[in-house]
C-alpha cells in the first residue's frame, strides 16, 4: 500500500492547480453538491490538496478535511485556503459516530488491499449520519494501461493502486452497511496534458496526448457537458466511478 511518506513526497513538490483537471473537479463537485443541503456537513477522508474542502467551505457548508500525511494538509492551507484540517487515520477516524451528513473520498481506497479497504469503508460509514460517497479508478478504461506504462518507465509515483469495477465497489460498500443508490462515471476524456515544449511529445509513449492550452480548455468544457448528458457511457468508460451509499438504518421501510 502507499505510505504517508509517498504522499509527503508528492505534495512536497506540488506546484499550482493543473487546468487539465478542471473538468474532473467540475463534474465531481456537481455530483457532490446534488447530495448536499445548505446546512449539511461533509468530511473528506484523505483530502489531499484540499481543493474540494475549500470549495465547499466557500459555499458556507461545514467542510472538514482529514489526511494522514502532513504535506497535503500544508498544501490545502497554503494553496487553496482550506481550514478545518486535521491529521488523522481513516482506520480510526477521530470523530464520534454519526458526526457528518456526508463522509466521502476520492482516489484513496484503491491504494489499500482487501480487507483493509473494507475496514476503511466501515469506519467512514460509522462517522456518517446519512451518506458515504466513494470515487475510485474504473477498471474498464485506458487509464490502467497507462499506469502500467508509467511503471515500466519508472514514472509512477503513487505506490500501490488497484482499479475497481462498478460491481466490486458496490459490494464493498454494501458489506460496510450501505445501500448503494447510484453509481456514476467521471472524466470520460482520455489522458491529456498541456504541451509547453517539444519534449512533451514523449508523453505519447504513455498514452497521454500533449495538446495546446486552448485545446485542453475546450476539451475540458465539452467533457463535463458530455458526461452529464451520457451518464451510462461515462459510467462504463470514465476514468473513475463514484458510488453514493446511504446507511441502511436510514432507508425507509415500505409496508
Structure confidence by residue, pLDDT tens digits, 22-40 = 888 999 999 999 998 877 9
Domain that holds residue 56: 4-138+158-187+232-247
Give yes or no for residue 124 having a pLDDT over 70.
yes
Q: Does residue 196 form part of some domain? A: no
Number of domains in the chain: 1
Q: What is the mean pLDDT of residues 74-78?
A: 96
Phi, psi of 209 (to 5 degrees): -90, 115
Q: What is the mean pLDDT of residues 44-57?
A: 96
Residues 160, 109: Cα–Cα separation, whole Å = 11
Q: Does residue 219 form part of some domain? A: no
pLDDT in tens, 187-202: 988 788 888 887 877 7
Q: Does residue 225 form part of some domain? A: no
Q: Does residue 217 form part of some domain? A: no
Cell numbers describing residue 22? 478542471
The beta-strand segments (E) located in 68-109 are 85-87, 100-106
Q: Does residue 48 form part of some domain? A: yes
pTM of the full predicted structure? 0.92
Contact 45, 53 (CB under 8 A): no
Q: What is the pLDDT of residue 253?
A: 44
Q: Does residue 194 form part of some domain? A: no
The CATH number for 110's domain is: 3.40.50.150
Contact 211, 219 (CB under 8 A): yes
pLDDT in tens, 222-236: 888 899 899 999 999
Cell numbers describing residue 21? 483537471
Nearest to 88 by CA among 41, 52, 140, 127: 127
Cell numbers describing residue 78? 497554503
Amino acid at each position: 500500500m502507499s505510505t504517508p511518506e509517498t504522499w509527503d513526497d508528492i505534495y512536497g513538490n506540488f506546484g499550482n492547480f493543473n487546468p487539465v483537471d478542471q473538468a474532473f473537479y467540475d463534474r465531481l463537485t456537481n455530483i457532490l453538491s446534488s447530495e448536499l443541503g445548505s446546512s449539511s456537513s461533509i468530511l473528506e477522508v484523505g483530502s489531499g490538496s484540499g481543493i474540494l474542502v475549500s470549495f465547499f467551505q466557500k459555499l458556507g457548508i461545514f467542510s472538514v478535511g482529514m489526511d494522514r500525511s502532513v504535506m497535503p494538509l500544508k498544501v490545502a492551507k497554503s494553496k487553496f485556503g482550506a481550514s478545518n484540517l486535521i491529521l488523522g487515520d481513516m482506520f480510526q477516524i477521530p470523530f464520534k459516530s454519526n458526526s457528518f451528513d456526508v463522509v466521502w473520498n476520492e482516489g484513496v481506497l484503491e491504494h489499500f488491499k482487501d480487507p483493509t479497504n473494507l475496514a476503511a469503508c466501515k469506519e467512514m460509514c460509522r462517522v456518517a449520519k446519512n451518506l458515504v460517497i466513494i470515487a475510485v479508478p474504473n477498471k474498464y478504461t485506458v487509464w490502467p494501461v497507462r499506469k502500467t506504462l508509467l511503471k515500466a518507465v519508472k514514472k509512477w509515483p503513487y505506490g500501490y493502486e488497484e482499479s475497481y469495477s462498478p460491481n466490486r465497489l458496490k459490494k464493498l460498500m454494501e458489506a460496510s452497511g450501505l445501500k448503494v443508490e447510484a453509481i456514476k462515471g467521471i472524466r470520460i476524456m482520455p489522458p491529456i496534458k498541456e504541451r509547453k515544449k517539444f519534449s512533451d511529445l514523449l508523453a505519447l509513449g504513455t498514452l497521454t496526448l500533449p495538446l495546446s492550452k486552448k485545446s485542453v480548455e475546450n476539451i475540458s468544457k465539452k467533457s463535463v457537458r458530455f458526461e452529464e448528458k451520457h451518464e451510462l457511457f461515462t459510467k462504463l468508460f470514465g476514468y473513475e466511478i463514484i458510488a453514493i451509499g446511504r446507511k441502511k438504518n436510514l432507508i425507509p421501510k415500505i409496508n
